[in-house]
Amino acid sequence: MATSLDLQLCEQARQSRDPRFDGRFFVAVKTTGIYCRNVCKVKLPSVKNIDFYAFAAAAQAQGFRPCLRCRPESTPGSFAWQGAGTSVGRAVRLWYQNPVQNVSQLCVRLGVGERHLHRLFIEYMGVSPMAVHQSIRLHQAKRLLDETNLPMGECAN
């Protein structure tokens, strides 16, 4: 446990999941062997089962492994740090940039598996990635028909 941290302040920030303290300290749970960011959405563990660390590396050095939900070991501001929902947003943006990409190509670009991406789309958008992809392609085909003189066959590709 790091001694340079104000333990009371850390506990208050953990209890409230205060985003101002995100990345300033890490919470290690002794009973699970996992460490998290203070903003992690997991059920809050009991105070007696946690330690605070100023750095993710310090928690790892003590044998704790990073949480798969909040990704405390990743760089602040990275897509992994921002959470799983950012993968869905990135996927939609990438499809608008290149609607010809299929789901497997998109997964390679995002660095996630197809099954995981499907779960994320269902969780965050309520539909499958394929449904979103078809909707984007349809929207772009309609736009091409309205705004250009391209033949219908070319707009459908």
Residue 89 phi, psi dihedral angles, 5° rounding: -60, -45
Question: Is 155 tagged catalytic?
Answer: no
| 40 catalytic residue (yes or no) | yes
Annotated catalytic residue 10: no
Which residue of the set 10, 40, 107, 155 is catalytic?
A: 40
The one catalytic residue in 10, 67, 107, 155 is 67
Select from 6, 68, 56, 4 the least CA-distant residue to 27. Answer: 56
Nearest in space to 34 (alpha carbons), one of 9, 16, 12, 51: 51
Q: Which residues contact 9 (CB under 8 A, 6 or more apart)?
A: none
> Is-contact 36 26, C-beta < 8 A?
yes
- Write out the catalytic residue numbers: 36, 40, 67, 70
